[in-house]
């Protein structure tokens, strides 16, 4: 059985409530950090742990924290990005719903390390029932002296606020989130300046994902050196993976980052294999923004090495033959799934969610959607496949925020690995909508 650091107590009845959380070791890390470590030592411990941002980008957390500007007399903020909207990703929801105090404790330790006296949880609008859970946990923590003024007599003050989003995917992009938090339309800002220098209301701000902040708790409890032992190389610790698609056991799993993709898909501890005994066709390992991998490149890298559930291994070969761990939204497709239809579904999503600020994204996402629609619905031409390739190339790297790339990469990967499926659609317009896409087509 894999060891757990975040969900180890998730099964305990009542762990959502303060008394149970506390009696099972909760807030011990906060006590240690505030009473015996101090802010700089906490930052050092997080650096030592090698923790990388769990929202998708994998940026080193300790490094991000150390970038925070500290001008005299200017407040600093910690913002928790709980706008989990990446298709296939639902791990943060699980954490917030079942162990909210882990996030509150993580926010307390992280705010202390950063010198932030206000922390915000910006939560996805569709997670309509979770803000109440968080508010209750915040009230309990405040009632017990973990929030408010002069926490544990250290002179450190902290308030945590919950802000609901209104259902826009783009507000998960950190600068759009900050705009929204300031009460404006959620349009991404140009970076740099990064939020660590100029963030919320122009002040130094760290934006971290829910899981990243929660992971600070076990890091302080066990120490950075121990945390590293839960992974391989620069993929340290554990990672929450939300697994969905054609598998026997969809759900949220905590993995040590030292298991293979094959083990994750086929072992009973995790996904339990492909549903109905069918064959694995493809997988999007890190949420809809990352490239799809065909089965042959999913279990082994192009070099023939075992593909591991790590940042490095999933990206081995770059996007030519690899993908990304991303947000851990693991979408598995069996032999009956149609890559063209899946790609169209994602293209529709990105077009709908584009904020429209930059033309390559605003126009390109709509154009890709139309061309994919034509191919899927038996009205495509062979030249449309090259046209699609050209459009995605012109979006990638030419936009203000990563949504443009996120729209382009799935299209590129689908054509790169499944071009014959696109061609089949063009050649068989009448069958395109009624086919069962078995592996026989390959
Ligand atoms: P990014 O690489 O631009 O930035 C990562 C983080 O590091 C940011 O917080 C950024 O401010 C910080 N950073 C980078 N360089 C810095 C510097 N020089 N100084 C200070 N700070 C610096 O990526 P991103 O836009 O934060 O995230 C993109 C990822 O988000 C995608 O790869 C995708 O996987 C993921 N994503 C996740 C969801 C979700 O629901 N979890 C949704 C959409 C996208
Ligand atoms: Fe908006 Fe798309 Fe430009 Fe991002 S890439 S700023 S979503 S138009």
What is the pLDDT at residue 422?
96
Tokens of 113: 């390390």
Digit-coded pLDDT (tens) for 119-129:
999 999 999 99
Digit-coded pLDDT (tens) for 245-281:
999 999 999 999 999 999 999 999 999 999 999 999 9
Residue nearest to atom 7 of ligand 1 (CA): 59
Contact 253, 270 (CB under 8 A): yes
What is the pLDDT at residue 190?
97
Question: What is the rounded CA–CA span in Å between residue 265 and residue 258?
Answer: 14
Question: What is the rounded CA–CA span in Å between residue 210 and residue 107?
Answer: 9
What value does the CA radius of gyration of the chain take, rounded to a whole number of Å?
22
The 3-class SS string of 43-99 reads HHHHHHHCCECCCCCCCEHHHHHHCCCCCCCCCCEEEEEECCCCCCCCHHHHHHHHC
Pocket test for ligand 2, best of 168, 173, 356 (most atoms within 8 A of CB): 356
The set of protein residues with a Cβ atom below 6 angstroms from ligand 1 is 53, 55-57, 59, 64, 67, 84-86, 89, 172-174, 194-196, 207, 286-287, 289, 326-327, 402
Question: What is the rounded CA–CA span in Å between residue 192 and residue 211?
Answer: 25
Residue nearest to atom 19 of ligand 1 (CA): 194
Question: What is the rounded CA–CA span in Å between residue 287 and residue 406?
Answer: 10
Q: Which atom of ligand 1 is nearest to the CA of 208?
A: 9
Q: Which residues of 201-236 are buried (b: 16+ CB within 10 A; e: fewer)?
A: eebbbbbbbbbbbbbbbbbbebebeebbebbbeebb
Closest ligand, as measured to the CA of 55: 1
Question: What is the rounded CA–CA span in Å between residue 171 and residue 120?
Answer: 14
What is the pLDDT at residue 431?
79
Three-state SS for 34? helix
Cα–ligand 2 centroid distance for 365 (angstroms): 10
Question: What is the rounded CA–CA span in Å between residue 406 and residue 395?
Answer: 10
- Say which residue the tokens 């598995």 belong to: 332
Closest ligand, as measured to the CA of 407: 2
Residues of the chain below pLDDT 70: 433-442
What is the pLDDT at residue 381?
97
Contact 151, 34 (CB under 8 A): yes
Closest ligand, as measured to the CA of 83: 1
ipTM above 0.90, yes or no: yes
Has this prediction a pTM greater than 0.90? yes
Cα–ligand 1 centroid distance for 342 (angstroms): 25
Question: What is the rounded CA–CA span in Å between residue 332 and residue 393?
Answer: 26
Q: Which residues contact 389 (CB under 8 A, 6 or more apart)?
A: 411, 412, 415
- Say which residue the tokens 């769990």 belong to: 54
Tokens of 268: 């009973």
What DSSP character marks residue 79? E
């Amino acid at each position: 059985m894999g060891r757990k650091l975040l969900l180890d107590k998730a099964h305990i009845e009542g762990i959502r409530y303060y008394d149970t959380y506390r009696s099972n070791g909760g807030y011990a890390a906060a006590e240690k950090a505030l009473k015996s470590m101090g802010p700089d030592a906490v930052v050092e411990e997080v650096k030592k742990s090698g923790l990388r941002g769990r929202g998708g980008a994998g940026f080193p957390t300790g490094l991000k924290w150390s970038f925070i500007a500290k001008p005299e007399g200017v407040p600093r903020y910690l913002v928790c990005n709980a706008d989990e909207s990446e298709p296939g990703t639902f791990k943060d929801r699980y954490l917030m719903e079942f162990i909210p105090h882990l996030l509150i404790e993580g926010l307390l330790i992280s705010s202390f390390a950063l010198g932030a006296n206000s922390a915000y949880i910006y939560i996805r609008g569709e997670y309509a029932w979770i803000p109440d859970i968080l508010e209750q946990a915040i009230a309990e923590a405040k009632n017990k002296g973990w929030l408010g003024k002069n926490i544990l007599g250290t002179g450190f003050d902290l308030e945590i606020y919950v802000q609901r989003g209104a259902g826009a995917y783009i507000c998960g992009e950190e600068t759009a989130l900050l705009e929204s938090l300031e009460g404006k339309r959620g349009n991404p800002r140009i970076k740099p300046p990064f939020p660590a220098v100029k963030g919320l209301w122009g002040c130094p701000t760290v934006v971290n994902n829910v899981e990243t902040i929660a992971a600070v708790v076990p890091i302080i409890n066990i120490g950075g050196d121990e945390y590293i032992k839960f992974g391989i190389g620069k993929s340290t610790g554990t990672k929450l993976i939300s697994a969905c698609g054609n598998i026997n056991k969809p759900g949220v799993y905590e993995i040590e980052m030292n298991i293979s993709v094959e083990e994750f898909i086929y072992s009973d501890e995790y996904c339990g294999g492909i549903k109905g005994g069918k064959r694995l066709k493809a997988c999007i390992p890190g949420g809809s923004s990352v490239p799809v991998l065909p089965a042959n490149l999913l279990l082994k890298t192009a070099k023939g090495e075992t593909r591991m559930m790590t940042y490095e291994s999933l990206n081995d070969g770059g996007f030519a033959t690899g993908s990304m761990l991303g947000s851990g939204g693991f979408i598995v497709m069996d032999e009956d799934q149609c890559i063209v239809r899946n790609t169209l579904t994602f293209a529709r999503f990105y077009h709908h969610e584009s904020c429209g600020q930059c033309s390559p994204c605003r126009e390109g996402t709509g154009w890709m959607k139309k061309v994919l629609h034509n191919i899927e619905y038996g009205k495509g031409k062979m030249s449309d496949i090259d046209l699609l390739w050209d459009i995605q190339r012109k979006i990638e790297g030419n936009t203000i925020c990563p949504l443009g790339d996120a729209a382009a990469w799935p299209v590129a990967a689908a054509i790169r690995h499944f071009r014959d499926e696109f061609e089949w659609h063009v050649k068989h317009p009448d069958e395109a909508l009624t086919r069962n896409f078995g592996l026989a087509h390959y």
